[in-house]
Amino acid sequence: MKVAVIGTGHVGLVTCVTFANMGHDVVGTDVDSEKIELLTRGVSPFYEPGLEEAIKTETSSGRLSFTLDAAGALVDAEVVFICVGTPARADGEANLVAMEQTASQIARHAHDDVVVVEKSTVPAGTADRVRTTLQREGNGLRFHMASNPEFLREGMAIHDALEPDRIVVGVESAWGLDVLRRLYAPLLEAGAPLIVTDIRTAELAKHASNAFLALKISFANALARVCEHAGADVTTVADIMGADPRIGRAFLNAGLGYGGYCFPKDVAALKHLSERFGYPFPLLSEVERLNEEAVEAVAAKLREALWNLEGKRIAILGLAFKPDTDDVRFSPALALARLLLASGAQVVGCDPRAAGGAKEELPELELANDVYEAAMGAHALVIGTEWPEFRGLELSHLREVMTYPLIVDGRNLLDPADLVGSGFWYYPTGRPPVIPDTSRAEGGSDDGSRSAPAPRQPTPLP
């Protein structure tokens, strides 16, 4: 089938390569000439595992091409996927200007019986707006609206697109459904579940899914606060909860909270949409508040451990919003860096992929090439992103280069058992800290630290 994809961001590009991989003829288009120039040379504009290889394979097979000329991309298309950005405005409302511009282009250049599919995450009711623009500007164009939300995760995007948990299609005509079924035939034959519904339900389901995942994370972070006071371990609490299939273990990891391009924007957009209908959805405001509190809690731990932050040097390992990406948009690690800088600390960061992006976002941030360079002279080290390479830290080397032996684990990446006897003060999130046994100097034990992680004394909640 002939497919046009408008917008070559994360969702758009993955849509391009995966439909080409399924054997369709795909043209990707974007208003960003630099991006199109990179793509035509087979270079991915951002890091996503496997994406650049897939771009090269599919463009050299002739099934995928890129162009700045949206009119040319649309003229033959049987299906058009709208994958443009829908960023949040200051009040949380989704900014749909690019959606409207795209609808105008489709109205002018597409041919009859084109299926117009929203893949961008949009508030329920957006398809009605797109339909109106197509009717107003389409000069009698016969078209079929559909919604086909994308649930891919950065870092796992190609896998998620080719092996989806579910394919959701919101349609309003048999034609639209038939075209989408044919388009997804290879995945449907491989057993991917298809959920067919109306367009508004499909639109809302995407916001609901992301908001619910954010809610799980904020729940885990609220529990972490309680566990810290109660001397309990939030990781094991989450394991026990997650063993119940009605709850599920995923997205119950406490830490610095969620970031990235989707969760913050989608929680805000769903809240804004509900408010517009007269229902303020206060649960979502609390999800957002708890997410900010997660970062503040790590800053508070540093303040407690270091007394004054002014003049202290703090190393943050990991700057991306999660591992396996170079994306720093709404990164909790950077939010923490901002708080620390505002408190007068010097902040040095390192990240296997996101260092450049982080420096652009936060020029006051010092960069180091690796963990040990970052740790040099630091009064504390914080795990900001759970990159697997930070798991195997050489603790004795770190102790030699750091000013104070202090680690605050904002992602619960390290195993507390490994810290026992290391001489480090180790503060995880929602788990008992490991603190060196200083009684040795007073004639106590000689292993250099407590043999088991020592829970803090329960203290009353504020």
**CB closer to ligand UDX out of 270 and 420:** 270
- Smallest distance, ligand UDX to C-beta of residue 458, A: 25
> Among candidates 194, 230, 217, 239, which has minimal Cα distance to 294?
217
Contact indicator for 414, 393 with CB cutoff of 8 Å: yes
430 binds ligand UDX (CB under 6 A): no
270 binds ligand UDX (CB under 6 A): no
Sequence-distant (≥ 6) Cβ neighbours of residue 78 within 8 angstroms: 1, 2, 3, 113, 114, 115, 179
Q: Name the one range near ligand UDX by CB under 6 A: 56-64, 96-104, 256-264, 393-401.
A: 256-264
N- to C-terminal Cα distance for the chain?
A: 61
Sequence-distant (≥ 6) Cβ neighbours of residue 107 within 8 angstroms: 133, 134, 136, 137, 138, 139, 141
3-state SS of 138-174 is: CCCCCEEEEECCCCCCCCCHHHHHHCCCCEEEEECCH
Q: Which of 16, 83, 227, 262 is catalytic?
A: 262
- Smallest distance, ligand UDX to C-beta of residue 291, A: 9
**CB closer to ligand UDX out of 137 and 286:** 286
- Smallest distance, ligand UDX to C-beta of residue 217, A: 4
Contact indicator for 314, 252 with CB cutoff of 8 Å: no
Going edge to edge, which strands form the sheet with 25-29?
Answer: 64-67, 25-29, 2-6, 79-82, 114-118, 143-147, 167-171, 194-197
Of positions 7, 9, 255, 436, contacts ligand UDX by CB under 6 A: 255
Q: Name the one range near ligand UDX by CB under 6 A: 167-175, 248-256, 278-286, 423-431.
A: 248-256
- In 301-364, DSSP assigns E strands to 313-317, 346-350
Q: Name the one range near ligand UDX by CB under 6 A: 65-73, 88-96, 149-157, 426-434.
A: 149-157
51 binds ligand UDX (CB under 6 A): no
Contact indicator for 254, 221 with CB cutoff of 8 Å: yes
Tell me if residue 61 falls in helix, strand or coil: coil
> Among candidates 19, 206, 6, which has minimal Cα distance to 103?
6
Footprint of ligand UDX on 198-237 (CB under 6 A): 210, 213, 217
Of positions 74, 80, 115, 252, contacts ligand UDX by CB under 6 A: 252
**CB closer to ligand UDX out of 47 and 143:** 47
**CB closer to ligand UDX out of 211 and 345:** 211
Of positions 251, 281, 372, 404, contacts ligand UDX by CB under 6 A: 251
- Smallest distance, ligand UDX to C-beta of residue 144, A: 24
Please give the DSSP secondary-structure letter assigned to residue 381. Answer: E
Q: How far is CA 334 from CA 200, 358, 375, 430, in A?
A: 35, 7, 17, 21
Of positions 153, 229, 303, 359, contacts ligand UDX by CB under 6 A: 153
Footprint of ligand UDX on 285-324 (CB under 6 A): 321-322
Contact indicator for 75, 111 with CB cutoff of 8 Å: yes
Q: Name the one range near ligand UDX by CB under 6 A: 51-59, 223-231, 259-267, 415-423.
A: 259-267
262 given a catalytic annotation: yes
Of positions 47, 263, 387, 425, contacts ligand UDX by CB under 6 A: 263
Cα–Cα dist 335/341, whole Å: 10
Footprint of ligand UDX on 370-409 (CB under 6 A): none
350 binds ligand UDX (CB under 6 A): no
349 binds ligand UDX (CB under 6 A): no
Which amino acid makes up residue 202?
Answer: A
Contact indicator for 223, 254 with CB cutoff of 8 Å: yes
Sequence-distant (≥ 6) Cβ neighbours of residue 101 within 8 angstroms: 84
Of positions 177, 262, 350, 434, contacts ligand UDX by CB under 6 A: 262
- Smallest distance, ligand UDX to C-beta of residue 221, A: 8
**CB closer to ligand UDX out of 153 and 181:** 153
365 binds ligand UDX (CB under 6 A): no
Active site residues: 262
Binding site for ligand UDX (CB under 6 A): 150-154, 210, 213, 217, 251-253, 255, 257-260, 262-263, 321-322
